[in-house]
Structure 1
């Protein structure tokens, strides 16, 4: 019994030590990469940033720095790709939005987006303004606040205070419900709206997932598309102006 317990403790300690060492290694790599970036040694900085990326430790600042390097070295598709990944994690970051706007000006395709419906404006302006993890955290925080207000209501002897705690706790319930709804809507939207960036210099968009099918239009590197469907080595995509078609899956990279 004791040996088993000691064995479990040792495994836990080793695991925690491994996580700690990994975090220290990542911090060290990120610090070194930032120094190379400041020195304008972009190739060396990018090499270190990629070492962090392969460890599957996501960070908007990591993607933002990588995007900046690709932008400074005139690599259109990778710069837009990593700006989009950074923006996905930090949707309200104005620096990312500003740089992404400049990067998008380097693309060759001039696509006029369709006007947004009221529902789309609501999604963009409110539901997608924060990511689903943030909405979930807000819901948890409000739930704790509700519990506190309910206790204060229960133990308060003043009629005016009871009324105040009752009203505010009721509002908390409404806000908790709303936050949970927004979190689920956000998660559903993100999971069902797969975005991608064209990485090929030029790619033909076909009417069907075959090489012999009719050519609809052509896209160039850096253009953002929505992936609707997959079939073998083909992806059905939609662009901002509503046009749809099939292209080679290897020509795009999902965000």
Structure 2
């Protein structure tokens, strides 16, 4: 359990966080989880807070919410060893858990590059390199005798970095705002062959299973599992990441 300070928290919010830590140490896990979750719902998304939330839900035997919290922590910090470890332990409780396929080496490289910055960080870098590119271009126009070869080379590098940061900013923003995964929250959920309650039952899913949402209606979501199984289920039984 982490006792770190909450970033940008008011004094009452920090006190609530410390109260939740104390409740956790006193083994009042449901009460601690409720306070942690309230802070998360207020917009605090520090990996440490999300891991604490997952730990409390896990101890309170709310496996679905524990898995959800650890998955959210990994969205905030994909390389968090604590979140990865705790998620693996929580998934051992999930009946019918299906392992995700491991990433290939180039996918691991892409993930490492993509999460070097949050979307705002990539956007800030793009703005900086954009202005540096503009400044270099202005220098070439106003001071053509100022070592033009060097200025052109440096300006070209700034231009490439601007394009790269802009591309990564757009990519990470789309990735962060596309909620196509979710965690099953119902104890036992029947997956249907069509978006209709009267359609044929295909299989059952249990609390804590992670699914990919590929399509949907106002009431039903089409889901896919890592092993390729697909079907329809009530969207109300899925907590989207």
Shorter-chain TM-score bucket reads: 0.7 to 0.9
How far 1:57 sits from its partner (Å)? Answer: 4.0
Which residue in 2 is equivalent to 1:252? Answer: 238
Question: Alpha carbons of 1:132 and 1:198: their partners in 2 closer, same or farther (altered >3 Å)?
Answer: same
- Whether the 8 Å CA contact 1:193–1:226 is kept in 2: the answer is no
For the pair shown, the structure with the greater C-alpha radius of gyration is 1
TM value normalised by structure 2 = 0.78
Which residue in 1 is equivalent to 2:203? Answer: 217
Q: In the alignment, which of 31, 35, 42 is matched to residue 48 of structure 1?
A: 35
Q: Of Structure 1 and Structure 2, which has the larger fraction of its residues in helix?
A: 1
Matched, 1:25 2:12: yes
Which residue in 1 is equivalent to 2:3? Answer: none
Question: Alpha carbons of 1:155 and 1:104: their partners in 2 closer, same or farther (altered >3 Å)?
Answer: farther
Give the whole-Å Cα distance in 1 for the aligned partners of 2:63 and 2:188: 13
Give the whole-Å Cα distance in 1 for the aligned partners of 2:43 and 2:198: 39
Give the whole-Å Cα distance in 2 for the aligned partners of 1:242 and 1:150: 52
Which residue in 2 is equivalent to 1:131? Answer: 118
How far 1:243 sits from its partner (Å)? Answer: 2.0
Which residue in 2 is equivalent to 1:83? Answer: 70
Q: Map 1:136-151 onto structure 2 (within 5 A).
A: 136-143=123-130, 146=133
Give the whole-Å Cα distance in 2 for the aligned partners of 1:232 and 1:122: 37
Which residue in 1 is equivalent to 2:184? Answer: 198
SS of the residue corresponding to residue 10 of structure 2 reads helix
Which consecutive residues of structure 2, in runs of 5 or more, have no partner in the other structure? 1-7
Which consecutive residues of structure 1, in runs of 5 or more, have no partner in the other structure? 1-20
Aligned residues: 233
TM value normalised by structure 1 = 0.74
